[in-house]
Chain A
């Protein structure tokens, strides 16, 4: 079975084909919700924002022009929503005494269900350290890392999504990954992973 490209599907959505919209929804619901979960750390809000992305895609279907890749367009919408949501919630998040307070958050549920208690504790601790390190990055660096590492978007697309040049994105990624490498250095020593 040949998978239809996002572009073909979106062009059909533009013509009023609801089935094609369903395919796009099915294809991108997990990546989008995961993206927002990492960006805003709240699953309910992440789902609301992902829904808003699909709604905006649907609303602007008639104006859709296949000039850029569909995912570039999709993540551009998502990025704007995420950054706005982060700014809106900044005060509320800063009131949280410490990032450790969410040790029982939804992210912990996705750890391997099989490990021993000790392994699980180590895994939870490692996740917390990674999350804190990524969240401590400046907004754009964090967005670039999440797109590059977790959404598997290449640096050319990231440049379009963030409205930057390609070399600026490479530098942005370097600064972000270098900061993470230094912060997570204890976990990166040989034999720790």
Chain B
């Protein structure tokens, strides 16, 4: 019987033949000790090669890789955020939300015309809304002393219920005074000054 070529025997040993080819080789091996020995040597070679061990990574390898990836230019912030514990990320998100809400609330509550002076006695929302729509008004202290009232200075009627505002165009002096009147002590002087300006 003619011996098989060694490549075929190798493919048989390493399961690289299809089923029919493999069965032909099997049949030949039963009657050919030489080919059988070659196949046996390939199988023993496979076992022998297992003896060549190679080490894995040393401790700290993962940290090195992580640092290298984090140091990449263009590394997105979100990627780094993932490196934080999720609770820290959540805390940061809550803090950011609180800050946004706080700023929005502050701006809504203390809204006033750009460049207008701050006032100490906070007018009611409806009064502010009315005053904003009423040019040609002037500040007049309320008899109760709590809020100032609005006096009509031009043809435009003051909004009903308006108790505090600024006559931006016509009464700059009153504005200055009002600014000074940020201290409550000066509020009492406003009626006199207002009447002087009117005269």
Contact = CB atoms under 8 A, between A and B. Distances in A.
A24 to B, nearest CB: 10
Contacts of B42: 177, 181
Given A43-B58, A58-B69, A174-B11, A110 B53 contact: yes
Contact of B65 (A25, A110, A174, A187): A25
B49 interface: yes
Which label, helix, strand, loop or mixed, suits the secondary structure of the B interface? helix
Nearest to B41: A188
Interface residues of B, number: 37
B19 interface: no
Interface residues on A, range: 35 or more
Given A180-B45, A188-B45, A30 B53 contact: no
Interface in A156-193: 170-171, 173-174, 177-178, 180-181, 184-185, 187-188, 190, 193
A173 B65 CA distance: 33
Given A106-B55, A107-B53, A170 B11 contact: yes
B159 to A, nearest CB: 54
Interface string B43-56: 01111110111111
Which label, helix, strand, loop or mixed, suits the secondary structure of the A interface? helix
Given A33-B57, A37-B55, A188-B45, A177 B14 contact: yes
Given A18-B83, A185-B41, A34 B54 contact: yes
A59 B53 contact: no
Contacts, number: 121
Interface in A15-57: 16-19, 21, 25-26, 29-30, 33-35, 37-38, 43, 47, 50-51, 54-55
B104 interface: no
Given A59-B72, A106-B55, A107-B53, A130 B48 contact: yes
A84 B66 CA distance: 24
Given A54-B65, A181-B38, 4 more contacts: A30-B57, A51-B61, A170-B11, A178-B6
22 contacts: A19-B82, A33-B57, A34-B54, A38-B54, A51-B65, A55-B69, A58-B69, A109-B55, A126-B48, A126-B51, A127-B51, A130-B49, A131-B52, A134-B49, A155-B16, A170-B11, A174-B11, A177-B10, A177-B42, A187-B48, A193-B44, A193-B47
Query: What are the 10 tightest A-B residue pairs by CB atom distance, in nearest-first order?
Result: A110-B53, A18-B82, A34-B54, A30-B56, A37-B54, A33-B57, A130-B52, A58-B69, A188-B44, A174-B7
Interface of A: 16-19, 21, 25-26, 29-30, 33-35, 37-38, 43, 47, 50-51, 54-55, 58-59, 106-107, 109-111, 123, 126-127, 130-131, 134, 149-150, 155, 170-171, 173-174, 177-178, 180-181, 184-185, 187-188, 190, 193
